[in-house]
Amino acid sequence: MHLRYLEIFVRRLAGFVLVLFVLSLMIFVLARVVPGDPARMTLGPSATQDQVDQLRARMGLDQPILVQYGRYIGKALQGDLGDSIVSGNPVSRDIREFLPATLELIIATVIIELVFAIPLGVITARYRNSWIDNAGRLFSLVGVTIPAFLFAITLQLVAARFFPSWPILGRVDYNLGAPSGPTGFLLVDAVLAGRGDVFLSALAHLALPATALAMAGIGQITRITRSAMIDNLRRDHVLTLKSFGVPEPVIVFRYLLKLSSIAPLTIMGLEFASLIGNAFVVEMVFSWGGFASYGLTAILQKDLNALMAVVLVSGVFFIVANLVIDIVVSIIDPRLRFGEAGQ
């Protein structure tokens, strides 16, 4: 049995590596065929054509695309993702600097989604067609249809009007002197350094951007949870339990909640990876300075090495998130273990 699991895991991993390879090749080719010369953008408009040509040769941009790609992948496998033409730093160093900020924001967003969306979906299904259900569905619709940046701006305005002392920019109060800890996660580094003031400040700074980013996910997951709960409430074994006098709250929380959480968890796996791409506007509104903002700058400045790194890191997170969700779902429902349903 364990060999069977290992075989399935290796097969999945090979598929993910293939997807990552195709993704990297597509982005590499697209990044080099769009208008704009990275060498010219690096040197500026005052540089001579000879200087631009020399830099293009040093960057390898005068070689065929497939040769450039082969060299890039060869170095990437050794941990060298090249240098950023914007920051001037190795891209790997930029990733270590910016990625923890966005991951901290995304983890907080996912926690908010879990805390609010699944209970709200259960409640609206339990009281379906009542005013509670209608209010929950309206809230979900608002969350899905309104863009995250509008939520971000609205939360900033509300906080500035009614809670003027609430922080609306940055990751922590600048006068606190945040610790430069080993992880880059301010909350974790504050705990490791024993800085309760920094921890509370970072938590307060995190609240508004994470809430703004979570609204769409809350709306989507609430709707899916509600639908799954309503479908399961109509199943024969649930009707049998009701006929034996089992209280409905017991049926919901003991028998249905786990089964109904499969679809929301699957959506959350996709949501976790997509949040890296969706976070850039929220990061800009709140001056968050994370990986998503770094990616946006790379796109606008045609910073090819940084752009490739952003896409590859996002792809890796997408793959890992899907693999984790597969494992969690297989634990919840053995029929779906590693896609073996029906076999």
Q: Which long-range contacts (CB under 8 A, 24 or more apart) does 75-82 make?
A: 76/312, 81/305, 81/308, 81/309, 81/312, 82/304, 82/305, 82/308, 82/309
Q: In the chain, how long is the greatest CA-to-CA distance? A: 86
Under a CB-based contact definition with an 8 Å cutoff, are residues 61 and 102 in contact? Answer: no
Neighbours of 153 (CB within 10 A): 16
Q: In this predicted structure, what is the pLDDT of residue 210?
A: 92
Give the distance, in angstroms, between the CA of residue 143 and the centroid of all CA atoms in the same chain.
17
pLDDT < 70: residue spans in the chain: 1-5, 8, 34-36, 273, 333-343
Q: In this predicted structure, what is the pLDDT of residue 335?
A: 63
Q: In this predicted structure, what is the pLDDT of residue 337?
A: 56
Q: In this predicted structure, what is the pLDDT of residue 81?
A: 81
Which CATH architecture does the domain made up of 100-332 adopt? Answer: Orthogonal Bundle (1.10)
Q: In this predicted structure, what is the pLDDT of residue 3?
A: 63
Q: In this predicted structure, what is the pLDDT of residue 236?
A: 77
Q: In this predicted structure, what is the pLDDT of residue 317?
A: 81
Give the distance, in angstroms, between the CA of residue 104 and the centroid of all CA atoms in the same chain.
10
Residue 224, both tokens: 């899916």
Give dist(CA 314, CA 292) in Å, integer: 10
Q: In this predicted structure, what is the pLDDT of residue 341?
A: 44
Q: In this predicted structure, what is the pLDDT of residue 342?
A: 42
